Amino acid sequence: AQSVTQPDIHITVSEGASLELRCNYSYGATPYLFWYVQSPGQGLQLLLKYFSGDTLVQGIKGFEAEFKRSQSSFNLRKPSVHWSDAAEYFCAVEADSWGKLQFGAGTQVVVTP
Amino acid sequence: DAGVIQSPRHEVTEMGQEVTLRCKPISGHDYLFWYRQTMMRGLELLIYFNNNVPIDDSGMPEDRFSAKMPNASFSTLKIQPSEPRDSAVYFCASSLKIDRDGYTFGSGTRLTVV
């Protein structure tokens, strides 16, 4: 069965520092991968997605993610975080032919001054 | 488009009462999903529909939960009778599979059962 693992439950980063959030997936075929962000009191918002082609994908809010098939990973990065990036981040993989997404447990990002 | 619209935003009810949560998906989207989010269990998929037909309801916790989608622009999630352990944030999301754009989520309904 498809699964998504986010090893880090909680990350604290200083404003202006770089951020990397890890995501590992288990999937038999070429996966469709997504990153979502959830700000407090809000629904999830799509940051970026990967289907095929260039393994480095750009998203909104200055985020990017790199697909590495050999490592079964799809890590999210941002070169310089802003206080407004404090939120919870979810990695997801398309889990079946119906388009159902399997979400990871999420990583809570705290940004310090 | 106004996005996925959920109502109410907050609901406080007493144990044993019936609760109905509502969702209006994005026009033209052919999939609709109901999720529950809690601190303990994270995001749980409860049920999803394709073209108004339920495809997978294996995530519905028990018979007290039911969901309907009478037409392409409206869905409900009902809990009857409600229990304190049902307290959570319930999200509705919709998608157009052919676009493979992922889901668009509503802002959620925060349910508190006292």
User: Tens-of-pLDDT digits for all 114 residues of chain B?
Assistant: 679 999 999 999 999 999 999 999 999 999 999 999 998 888 999 999 999 999 999 999 889 999 999 999 999 999 999 999 999 999 999 998 766 677 899 999 999 999
Nearest to B48 among A34, A43, A100 (CB): A100
Predicted confidence (pLDDT) per residue in A3-50, tens digit: 899 999 999 999 999 999 999 998 767 788 999 999 988 889 999 999
- Probe site for chain B from A101, A102, A107, A108 (most B CB atoms < 10 A): A101
The reported pLDDT for the residue numbered B98 is: 66
Q: How far is A22 from chain B (nearest CA, A)?
A: 17
Q: What is the DSSP string of chain A?
A: --EEE---SEEEEETTS-EEE--EEE-SSPPPEEEEEE-TTS-EEEEEEE-SS-SEEE-GGG-EEEEEGGGTEEEEEESS--GGG-EEEEEEEE-STT-PEEE---EEEEEE-
Is B99:B30 a contact under the CB 8 Å cutoff?
no
The reported pLDDT for the residue numbered B1 is: 66
The reported pLDDT for the residue numbered A68 is: 93
**C-beta atoms surrounding B103 within 10 Å:** 27
Q: How far is B85 from chain A (nearest CA, A)?
A: 20
The reported pLDDT for the residue numbered B85 is: 95
CB contact under 8 A, B102 and A101: yes
- Probe site for chain A from B38, B95, B103 (most A CB atoms < 10 A): B103
Predicted confidence (pLDDT) per residue in A45-95, tens digit: 999 999 888 889 999 999 999 999 999 999 999 999 999 999 999 999 887
Residues of A in contact with B101 (CB under 8 A): 46, 49
Residues of B in contact with A46 (CB under 8 A): 101-104
The reported pLDDT for the residue numbered B106 is: 95
